Structure 1
């Protein structure tokens, strides 16, 4: 990692536990609307399953770049309809509150202490498909000590588009090789490496629950492979 001056982080799954956070807020919502029989974690999975297809509409050019809060809201309404609930019959304030559950996700236990150590040596910032307001609210609530908050609308691109990685490095005033992506997803790291960024893999084997089968181990020889953020900090001399 010689020459690296900034660490940028995938957020959903790598920094925060989206599945448990969404399930926590979905459970009372579903109960209030007569669907206490639904598994809130399965509901979270169904909502998340629409994430990549929605962004692909923007990546492909079939739709102009649209911030993630808007995509999440459209996906929420689609998931509700798929589960027999009519969004038109639910108060706007309640739908908005549930949609903003993505702003209130909890970090994994090692994240804040690990970021605090890494911040002493590196510039640290998110490189996420989340929008600025989402990432800002998340950071304020969870105590994430970012040096900068860069959302996808800053780059006007969604990972794994090259622009997402290259424009982030440019915004930080750095060459791609001076920036390392930290992520729990091999595909994200592969796209970053193709753009000249350095790479650090940190597994999150519970991101998708106990039955997770993806991203349990590094798929390539990434520049750094660590157990968690505190191990990453130790490996980088922080």
Structure 2
């Protein structure tokens, strides 16, 4: 029987590509960063609350991008922003970055390239990929996303990093330029994400939307994004569940 692509109720178009938010939706950034930070601290004889370190580093993510989104500074890659923020986080946790050496700090910064996938991610993406174009729709730069995919076995068809779109979500151009690179109408692209705010912005830009629950992205005490907060096209408990709902 011929495969029938999912038709988005919100856009009225058949979905051709399913693009995924990556940090938190496809990969477990908190566990990965904490693991690398703990090893870094141990190698330097330093005690560390590694999960708090990961949370503090991640908390600087949006403010750093906002300076670019608002036009206060020119575009810089997420790798560059993470590296700028790293010194601040290290000081907060009792390190002196000036005593650590640039090579060691650059190595720690690369931990964002080596994040583990959620247990269902690789299997689920492979299932979606049988019927749809799959790729990230992420604020990560291309080399970061490429290294992450190679390390974690993530089966993307295409990687379009923020250094290609030259902008950051949730600005509309982050979504529209990605669709444009694929020569697709925005309504033929579905954004799959664990974050309701990302989905709101994607829908405003004309994309179809799917919520994927990641209730422990921020640990067991997470209070936000525990459930869909709007009438997204689809809502799933995992990426394999999303694949089923797409008929993949």
> TM-score band, normalised by the shorter chain?
over 0.9
What does residue range 78-157 of structure 1 map to in structure 2 within 5 Å? Answer: 78-157=88-167
Distance in 2, matches of 1:98 and 1:223, equals 39
Question: Is 1:54 aligned to residue 67 of structure 2?
Answer: no
1:26 corresponds to 2:37: yes
Q: 2:238 aligns with which of 220, 228, 232?
A: 228
- Shift of residue 91 of structure 1? 1.9
Matches within 5 A, 1:141-220: 141-220=151-230
Aligned residue number for residue 11 of structure 1: 22
Q: Secondary structure at the match of 1:181?
A: strand
Deviation at 1:127, TM superposition (A): 0.4
Unaligned runs of 5+ in 2: 1-5, 8-13
CA distance in 1, matches of 2:173, 2:182: 14
CA RMSD in angstroms, aligned pairs only: 0.8
Cα distance in 2 for partners of 1:64, 1:95 equals 24
Distance in 2 of aligned mates of 1:32 and 1:129? 30
> Over residues 49-91 of structure 1, what are the superposed CA-to-partner deviations in whole Å (9 max), with x where a residue is unaligned?
0000000010010010100000000111111122221111112
What SS does the corresponding residue of 1:69 show, helix, strand or coil? Answer: helix
Task: Please give the secondary structure, in 1, of the residue aligned with 2:94.
Answer: coil
Structure 1 unaligned blocks of 5 or more:
none
Cα displacement (A) at 1:28:
1.8
Cα deviation 1:145-192 (Å, max 9, x = unaligned) = 101011111111100000000000000000000000000000000000
TM-score normalised by L of structure 2: 0.94
Question: Partner residue of 1:43?
Answer: 53
CA distance in 2, matches of 1:100, 1:231: 31
Q: Which residue of 2 aligns with 1:64?
A: 74
After superposition, the C-alpha distances for 1:78-106 in whole angstroms (9 at most, x for unaligned) are 11122221111112221111100000001
Q: Could you tell me which residue of structure 1 aligns to residue 3 of structure 2?
A: none
- Take 1:195 and 1:39, find their aligned partners in 2: how far apart are those partners? 39
* 1: CA distance, partners of 2:35 / 2:42: 12
Residue in structure 1 matching 2:85, options 72, 75, 82: 75
